[in-house]
Amino acid sequence: MTVGLDRAAAPRRTLRHRLADRGIDRTLWLVLPATAFVLVLFVYPFIYGLELSFQPLEGGGAFANYKEFFSDPYLRDTIWKTMRLALPAAVFNVAASVPVAYAMRGRVRGKRTITTLLVIPITLGTVLTAQGLIMYAGPRGWLNRTLTGLHLIDQPVVLVHNYTGVFLSLVITGFPFAFLLTLSYLSGIDPALEKAAATLGAGSWQRFRKITLPLLAPGLAITFTLAFVLAFSVFPSAQMVGKPTGATRVISIAAYDAAFQKFDYSMGSTIAMIMAVIMLIVIALVMVWRATLYRGATGGKG
Amino acid sequence: MSTMTRPVTEPEARTSPDATPRTRPRGWTVLLWLVVAFLFVNLAALVLSVVVDSFGTRWFGTWLPESFTTHWYADAWHEFALSHVLLVTLEVALAVVVVSVLIGVPASYVLARRSFPGKRVLMLLFVLPILVPPITYGIPLATLLYRWHLAGSMTGVILANLVPAVPFVILTMTPFIEQIDPKIEAAARMCGAPTRVVFTRILTPLLVPGILAACILVLVRTVGMFELTFLTAGPSSTTLVVSLYNAVFAAGIRANQSVDAMATIYTASMMVLLIVALRFVNPTQLVTRVREEPTE
Amino acid sequence: MTAGVSSGTSPAGPSTSRFAELRLEGVGRRYGAQTALEDFSLSIKGSEFVALLGPSGCGKSTALNCLAGLLPLTTGSIHLDDRRIDTLPPERRGFGMVFQNYALFPHMTVRKNIAFGLQMQKVARAEVARRVDEAVALVQLGEHQHKMPGQLSGGQQQRVAIARAIALHPPVVLMDEPLSNLDAKLRLEMRMEIRRLHQDLGLTTVYVTHDQEEALSMADRLVVLREGVIQQVGTPQEVYEQPVNSYVAGFMGYRNLIDVDVTGGDAEHAVVEGGGLRLTGANRGVRSGAAVAAIRPEDLVIGETDGNGIEVTVRIAEYHGRELSVEATTEQGRSIYFRTPERVAPGDRVVLGVPRHRVLVFGDASAAREAVRAGLES
Ligand SMILES: Nc1ncnc2c1ncn2[C@@H]1O[C@H](COP(=O)(O)OP(=O)(O)OP(=O)(O)O)[C@@H](O)[C@H]1O
Ligand SMILES: [Mg+2]
């Protein structure tokens, strides 16, 4: 740690005093292993990837990979295809989690059981979800058999190996996370606030709209960010229940193809960097929006 | 202090009729639960169809398979060397848990207790690996591990999985440590305890619930972590998720039921982990602790 | 290894202190731009009981934590006799400390809490047991010694905290508002107990409090702090009777602080006027111009005294057993507080008097107000 010389300081102030002034002491060594670890295994690979992305295999200048990515529609469109999946999925998961969590706040009978049931889908994993979707929602699955049996449809509905399949898979795996986060933010809001609003004559919808939702909004921003990260890195499900060569050729498939099918690490890194930038832009936008919201105490326990 | 709580209960009892409208089912709540129940039935059917298939012999265009058998499990077990794969999964997950706790807890201690120049930058550094998709750093990391001749080995898989695990431990443990009164540590120091003893005799016992929760969550995440393991694993260091994924893409030559059997094994083991986890962690608090992380 | 801790002294009977002087030289602590403690210099003699006194936020805990080693200094140094100790970590200074909210180890029984420090010193097991017994007996916790801290009342927890701090026979015991979480009666009992332990064990005690009564009754010497700066150091009597400025006066119970102008007098006495009053008081360093006259409620008597007479109307009379605590107003509407054994009632008009030497005339008015306010809030 470098410590700037403080000229105004009295001569009696030794280095020890100046370090103390900045809050530096021996305890800080404890943070060193973790810092070193993240620097070596996260920051360095990231910079390495960035460097690699500017060294295209086939030459053509530092930006050749980026130019190629944005000029080749097959590659460029993966951004759009990913966004088309990840944004609605994240929005849906967050939006759906709000009423469910809202109905669960306070003392609800069987709260723990219901929570557990709603969280269980986390354990399903992408493969079981994908297999299940193919089996259950496929043309000969129980769902289509039931629907045709009830004469609700004549033709089996196509729910897998297309956009819908991946979307459903993202909802099944992503909803429990969004729900858990929303529930914990919601339980951090003091229930007395809503009661206070009720004594002032606010109806239940008004209480939700004017009291709970504004207090919940910053938490929802974070929930959305995390839900979006999950959906944005969609990869296995896009392969298994989607159409990996067409409508659901998402950006991570492109990155993987480049790096490990064509062994063009440079292009693979380029796509990884583009993903990171998009992700960071989305996070930044959400955080900017969040900064405009009320962020103080929610009066609750947490 | 404790005497203060008693009189409070009385007015609370009086306000409870006021609170009942929240617990009395309203129209929208009933509708909501119907929708949730409907979706849940579908989800259960979805899982069931995989389980049924994994026990079925031949299932084509009927409600149920022709007959039931367990031989897909035996097949999968041998074909995919599941005993080896499970062992590897366990080893990787345990190694990741132990190392991430050893590295992460001291760091969270500093973040919880000290303010120092550059702290916000450091916090950001620790949040990023969780906020960016694993594949973005996974690809360059995998290429680096190939360079360092670590890719394909257990060490490589463990290192790659540690990248999100260490920040995860830091972000769950920091608020946990913050809520422990620093005066207790100060008291230990005043009793003559050096830093090492403060950690082993005072902090560790108090942190056990938090560490346990973090351990289980890291375990679940690592067992389920597909991307990073997929990018770094070799034939001898494949974990259950990756081997499952490989099975899916080799399904042309293998029976679909074997894949289902494997998926069932995977989900069953994850479910056991999660249910054990929920015994120690209140599911709502499990994320409350991470909640402020991206603001830093 | 452990500074200054010797295990030979007996806890029973006064033992001589193991050092002559604990000296703080220009100790300061900053938090970023804020200075919590500035140029704190103080010499504490062995076996002395020193109280740090001041309103909330004035830097008392900061001073104590600096002394303990829990907070690194940003200026200055600390010496125990000729040894510099501010470079040592807290565990090597060998001081004992009692915290405001006790800070007991929640996962250890009372006995284990008390034994912890001894174990850190690698004291032999039998000796640990003996000394824990001794400490438990000293604070009268015999029947609770196998309980966990959570099962004890506040007063019992406080005793455990004290026992834990003194079981090591530390040369210096630091106490940070140890009684502020207790009820009034228990507080009085514990005051005596702490003073008794201090004397019996020959401890050197540095005691932080915002309660001037507590400080006055317990300490050999008081240190009055204001915004991190020492205002006055002296015996209880000195500080009580001869406050050096209106801030200390306000903190020491001079509740009547009257804005006045100096109109005459000499080096010893000052004649002041203001708000329809004319008083003669002890001059505390004013020449002319604006000043403040400080008078304690209990120094005011009914009937003109020494030529000082204040005509007031009684507004509120609070019953305090032997006497009444009265708020009255002058004709100009200025509030005057006094105490009297006579039965006055709201609406009565009385003339109050005060001996000259009981009226202190200081130069700075605003500081005194602040002290009174802080004193009332705490
Ligand atoms: N960690 C910190 N960071 C920034 N400022 C601090 C910190 N700790 C204390 N301060 C500031 O330093 C000043 C002195 O604090 P200190 O705790 O010493 O007060 P105190 O006299 O003990 O008050 P109290 O009677 O309320 O305990 C206060 O103004 C406080 O706001
Ligand atoms: Mg304090």
Q: Do the Cβ atoms of C204 and C173 come closer than 8 Å?
A: yes
The verdict on pTM exceeding 0.95 is: no
A269 found inside a domain: yes
Nearest CA to ligand 1 atom 18: C59
pLDDT score of C262 more than 50: yes
Mean pLDDT for the stretch of residues C123-152: 91
Please report the pLDDT score of residue C24 as a whole number: 95
State the Rg of chain A over Cα: 25
CATH architecture of B76-286: Orthogonal Bundle (1.10)
**Mean pLDDT lowest among A4-8, A212-216, A229-233, C14-18:** A4-8
* Number of C-beta neighbours around residue B59 at 10 A: 19
Please report the pLDDT score of residue A40 as a whole number: 94
Of C241, C266, C292, the position where a domain reaches its end is C241
Please report the pLDDT score of residue C374 as a whole number: 61
| Edge-first strand listing for the sheet containing C34-45 | C34-45, C21-31, C75-80, C83-84
Number of domains in chain A: 2
Mean pLDDT for the stretch of residues C94-114: 91
Cβ contact, residue pair A125, B267, below 8 Å: yes
Please report the pLDDT score of residue C17 as a whole number: 59
* Chain B residues 16-45 with a CB less than 8 Å from chain A: 18-19, 21-23, 26, 28-29, 32-33, 36, 40, 42-43, 45
Domain span at C317:
256-377
Cβ contact, residue pair A12, C72, below 8 Å: no
CATH code where residue C130 lies: 3.40.50.300
Among residues A249, A250, A267, which one has the least CA distance to residue A258? Answer: A267
CATH code where residue A237 lies: 1.10.3720.10
Q: Is there a single domain that holds both residue A178 and residue A129?
A: yes
φ/ψ of C25, rounded to 5, equals -120, 110
Domain span at A44:
1-53
| Edge-first strand listing for the sheet containing C229-234 | C96-98, C172-176, C204-209, C49-53, C221-226, C229-234
Q: Which run of H or E residues covers position A201?
A: none
Mean pLDDT for the stretch of residues A28-43: 93
C2 found inside a domain: no
Please report the pLDDT score of residue B256 as a whole number: 79
Number of domains in chain C: 2
Our answer on whether the CB atom of C307 is closer than 6 Å to any ligand 1 atom is: no
Q: Is there a single domain that holds both residue C228 and residue C298?
A: no
Indicate the top mutation candidate among C38, C62, C70 to test ligand 1's pocket, ranked by most ligand atoms within 8 A of CB: C62
Over the range A174-183, which residues count as b (16 or more CB within 10 Å of their CB) and which as e?
bbbbbbbbbb
Task: Supply C270's token pair.
Answer: 């000052």
Residue whose tokens read 């009692």: C98
pLDDT score of C296 more than 60: yes
What SS3 class is residue C351? Answer: strand
Our answer on whether the CB atom of C198 is closer than 6 Å to any ligand 1 atom is: no
pLDDT score of C63 more than 90: yes
Q: Is there a single domain that holds both residue A195 and residue A246?
A: yes
State the Rg of chain C over Cα: 24
Flag residues of chain B having pLDDT under 50: 1-23, 286-296
Mean pLDDT for the stretch of residues C311-332: 91
Q: Is there a single domain that holds both residue A177 and residue A274?
A: yes
* Chain A residues 55-94 with a CB less than 8 Å from chain B: none
Which ligand is closest in space to the CA of residue C378?
1
Q: Is A297 on the interface with B (CB under 8 A)?
A: no
Q: Is there a single domain that holds both residue C168 and residue C291?
A: no
pLDDT tens figures, B256-276: 788 888 889 888 988 888 887
Please report the pLDDT score of residue C47 as a whole number: 92
State the Rg of chain B over Cα: 24
Q: Is there a single domain that holds both residue C267 and residue C226?
A: no
pLDDT score of C30 more than 80: yes
Q: What is the mean pLDDT of chain A?
A: 83
Residues of B in contact with C181 (CB under 8 A): 1
Q: Is there a single domain that holds both residue A123 and residue A223?
A: yes
Of C241, C268, C298, the position where a domain reaches its end is C241
Among residues C211, C247, C253, which one has the least CA distance to residue C230? Answer: C247
Q: Is there a single domain that holds both residue A128 and residue A192?
A: yes
Residue A176 banded pLDDT, cuts 50, 70, 90: confident
So what's the ipTM on this one? 0.79
Residue C347 banded pLDDT, cuts 50, 70, 90: very high
A299 found inside a domain: no
Residues of C in contact with A13 (CB under 8 A): 74-75
Residues of A in contact with C75 (CB under 8 A): 10, 12-13, 17
Q: Is there a single domain that holds both residue A15 and residue A141?
A: no
C1 found inside a domain: no
Mean pLDDT for the stretch of residues C41-70: 93
pLDDT tens figures, A111-159: 778 888 888 888 887 888 888 888 888 888 888 888 888 888 888 888 8
Question: Which residue in the set A42, A183, A276 is minimally distant from B284, CB to CB?
Answer: A183
Q: Is there a single domain that holds both residue A17 and residue A120?
A: no
Please report the pLDDT score of residue B14 as a whole number: 39
Among residues B227, B240, B237, which one has the least CA distance to residue B269? Answer: B240
A297 found inside a domain: no
Q: What is the mean pLDDT of chain B?
A: 80
A302 found inside a domain: no
Distance C153 CA to ligand 1 centre (A): 28
CATH code where residue C300 lies: 2.40.50.140
Please report the pLDDT score of residue A186 as a whole number: 84
Q: Is there a single domain that holds both residue C291 and residue C353?
A: yes
Cβ contact, residue pair B144, A44, below 8 Å: yes
Please report the pLDDT score of residue C7 as a whole number: 41
How many C-alpha atoms does C95 have within 13 Å on its Cβ side? 27
Q: Is there a single domain that holds both residue C142 and residue C186?
A: yes
Mean pLDDT for the stretch of residues A163-178: 90
* Chain C residues 16-45 with a CB less than 8 Å from chain A: 26, 30
Residue of C nearest to A13 (CA): C75
Question: Which residue in the set C26, C30, C72 is minimally distant from A12, CB to CB?
Answer: C26
Nearest CA to ligand 1 atom 28: C57
Residues of C in contact with A19 (CB under 8 A): 72
Q: Which residue has the higher pLDDT, C270 or B21?
A: C270
pLDDT score of A302 more than 90: no
Distance C61 CA to ligand 2 centre (A): 4
Residues of B in contact with C117 (CB under 8 A): 190-192
Q: Is there a single domain that holds both residue C110 and residue C231?
A: yes
pLDDT tens figures, C194-246: 999 899 888 999 999 999 999 999 999 999 999 999 999 999 999 998 898 88
- H-type alpha helices, chain A: 15-21, 32-38, 44-53, 64-71, 73-104, 111-119, 125-137, 142-149, 163-187, 191-199, 204-206, 213-232, 236-240, 251-256, 265-291
Using the Cα atoms of residue A92, residue A94, residue A97 and residue A98 in order, give the sign of their dihedral.
negative
Output the DSSP codes for C23-92. Answer: EEEEEEEEETTEEEEEEEEEEEETT-EEEEE-STTSSHHHHHHHHHTSS--SEEEEEETTEE-TTS-HHH
pLDDT tens figures, C327-338: 999 988 889 999
Q: What is the mean pLDDT of chain C?
A: 87
Mean pLDDT for the stretch of residues C249-256: 89
C276: left (phi over 0), alpha (psi -120 to 50) or beta: left
Q: Which amino acid is at C138?
A: L
Please report the pLDDT score of residue B188 as a whole number: 93
